[in-house]
């Protein structure tokens, strides 16, 4: 897939001399140790293959090459995809195979490895996406993936990984695995053979704090998500996990709320997210609308220099709000008036608490007596 796209790499000026020195040393070693000739020849051949891959269609950035120096590699490299490659595909078709997930860490570099217990890696499609960052690995022909208990322990100390889980959209014929990142990381995907494996390397990168607007569905349990996705069959969607462990489908991302709202229709909603914010669980449209209502109030509190806009908002909305919303509205009001030195209508403020069936705070009662 990436054969027409190359990342330039700087080669040392004395590369020919370095290679020649390596060949000379290899000859001396073979001459001294005839009994290990076969092993040396295998190593030399492997080196030639790897050098060809690195100098041909597989080109590395200097930063990644430096990061790889201290990371052990098992097996023979088949292909390597560019950093943060959006889609990586490869492997060999299989039927009913299994895979095991393990994790390793070396300094600032972490890796998740899928071992297929075969000569070649099974067929795969790995998709990288952001906001939040995820790597979704679809394995057609792989019946199951065993996520070892060490993964849970590794997550507790990982500087990148939030969670690794099998998506509920998996079937008996295809397994879909998702790696969700807690913090930003550069992602490099590599395929190996002898033994077959797929390696996802995570390396340090700049933090992204851009804000996007996600057009998404409501949240569903793992058992409900298949039926909920039926209307979107054939569409390019991403399955994400929310902050309560539920699942939803993301249909698209936009840079502005206006563009996202224009694209949203029916039962889909628009969620604002920044960087690697964990998506929020919205199981009903009422929950979503309540969240939007309270967000609007929060923004009003932040932008208001006087109490008048806040009191007008409460006068219009407090009586019709739910008890939970009323509690949030009044807590916001109390915090706002504490920082206000202007003359306030304390009678009106007290009436808000009475409308919500709450006791008038002592702070407000003191001003009523003045």
Kindly report the average pLDDT of the chain as a whole number. Answer: 82
Q: At residue 310, does pLDDT exceed 60?
A: yes
Q: Where are the domains of the chain?
A: 1-59, 61-203, 211-283, 294-369
CA distance 344 to 323: 25
Mean pLDDT lowest among 302-306, 313-317, 328-332: 302-306
> Which of 129-166 are b and which e, b meaning 16 or more Cβ less than 10 Å from the residue's Cβ?
ebbbbbbbbbbbbbbebebeeebeebbeebebbbbbbb
| CATH architecture for the domain at 211-283 | 2-Layer Sandwich (3.30)
pLDDT band at 39 (very low <50, low <70, confident <90, very high): very low
The percentage of the chain sitting over the pLDDT mark of 70, rounded to a whole number, equals: 77
94 or 71: whose pLDDT is higher?
94
Q: At residue 7, does pLDDT exceed 60?
A: no
Mean pLDDT lowest among 12-21, 218-227, 261-270: 12-21
- The pLDDT score that the predictor gives to residue 72 is 53
50 or 322: whose pLDDT is higher?
322
- The pLDDT score that the predictor gives to residue 73 is 57
User: What is the average pLDDT across 13-40?
Assistant: 47
Helices and strands in the chain: count of H runs, count of E runs? 11, 15
* CA 193 from centre of chain: 27
CA distance 104 to 106: 7
pTM, whole model, 2 decimals? 0.71
User: What is the average pLDDT across 313-333?
Assistant: 96
Domain 61-203 has CATH 3.90.230.10: no
Mean pLDDT lowest among 46-50, 74-78, 191-195, 359-363: 46-50
User: What is the average pLDDT across 57-63?
Assistant: 43
- The pLDDT score that the predictor gives to residue 1 is 45
Give the sheet arrangement for strand 134-140, strand by strand. Answer: 87-90, 124-129, 134-140, 174-181, 161-166
- Judge residue 230's burial from the number of C-beta atoms within 10 Å of its C-beta, 0-12 exposed, 13-18 middle, 19 or more buried: exposed
Mean pLDDT lowest among 7-16, 143-152, 270-279, 331-340: 7-16
- The tokens for 3 are 């054969």
- The pLDDT score that the predictor gives to residue 249 is 96
Packing angle, helices 346-355 and 323-338, rounded to 10: 160
- The pLDDT score that the predictor gives to residue 155 is 61
Q: At residue 217, does pLDDT exceed 70?
A: yes
Phi, then psi, of 154 in degrees rounded to 5 = -65, -35
User: Which residue do the tokens 């217990």 mark?
Assistant: 117
55 or 274: whose pLDDT is higher?
274
* CA 108 from centre of chain: 18
9 or 231: whose pLDDT is higher?
231
User: What is the average pLDDT across 167-182?
Assistant: 91
207 or 16: whose pLDDT is higher?
207
Q: At residue 62, does pLDDT exceed 70?
A: no
pLDDT band at 148 (very low <50, low <70, confident <90, very high): low
pLDDT band at 339 (very low <50, low <70, confident <90, very high): confident
262 or 339: whose pLDDT is higher?
262
- Please write the tens of the pLDDT for every residue from 247-264: 999 999 999 999 999 999
User: What is the average pLDDT across 179-197?
Assistant: 92
- The pLDDT score that the predictor gives to residue 42 is 39
Q: Is 133 left (phi over 0), alpha (psi -120 to 50) or beta?
A: beta
Q: At residue 103, does pLDDT exceed 90?
A: no
């Amino acid at each position: 897939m990436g054969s027409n796209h190359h990342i330039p790499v700087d080669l040392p000026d004395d590369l020919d001399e370095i290679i020649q020195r390596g060949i000379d040393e290899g000859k001396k070693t073979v001459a001294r140790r005839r009994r290990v000739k076969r092993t040396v020849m295998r190593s030399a051949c492997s080196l030639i293959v790897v050098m060809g891959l690195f100098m041909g269609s597989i080109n590395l950035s200097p930063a990644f090459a430096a990061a790889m120096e201290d990371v052990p590699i098992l097996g023979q490299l088949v292909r390597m995809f560019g950093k943060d490659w959006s889609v990586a595909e490869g492997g060999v078709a299989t039927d009913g195979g299994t895979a095991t997930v393990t994790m390793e860490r070396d300094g600032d570099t972490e890796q998740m490895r899928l071992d297929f217990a075969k000569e070649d890696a099974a067929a795969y499609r790995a998709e990288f996406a952001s906001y939040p960052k995820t790597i979704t690995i679809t394995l057609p022909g792989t019946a199951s993936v065993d996520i070892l208990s060490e993964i849970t322990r590794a997550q507790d100390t990982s500087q990148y990984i939030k969670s690794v889980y099998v998506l509920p959209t998996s079937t008996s014929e295809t397994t879909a695995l998702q790696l969700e990142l807690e913090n930003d990381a550069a992602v490099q995907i590599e395929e190996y053979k002898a033994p077959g494996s797929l390696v996802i390397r995570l390396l340090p990168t700049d933090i992204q704090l851009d804000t996007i607007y996600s057009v998404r569905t409501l949240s569903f349990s793992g058992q409900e998500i298949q039926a909920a996705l039926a209307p979107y069959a054939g569409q390019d969607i991403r399955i994400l996990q929310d902050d309560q462990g539920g699942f939803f489908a993301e249909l698209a991302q936009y840079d502005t709320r206006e563009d996202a709202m224009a694209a949203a229709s029916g039962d889909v909603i628009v969620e604002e997210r920044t960087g690697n914010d964990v998506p929020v669980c919205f199981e009903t449209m009422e929950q979503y609308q309540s969240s939007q209502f309270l967000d609007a109030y929060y923004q009003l509190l932040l932008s208001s220099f006087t109490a008048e806009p806040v009191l007008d908002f409460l006068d219009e909305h407090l009586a019709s709000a739910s008890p939970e919303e009323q509690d949030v509205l009044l807590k916001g009001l109390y915090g706002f008036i504490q920082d206000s030195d202007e003359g306030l209508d304390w009678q009106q403020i007290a009436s808000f608490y009475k409308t919500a069936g709450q006791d008038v705070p002592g702070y407000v009662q003191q001003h009523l007596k003045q």
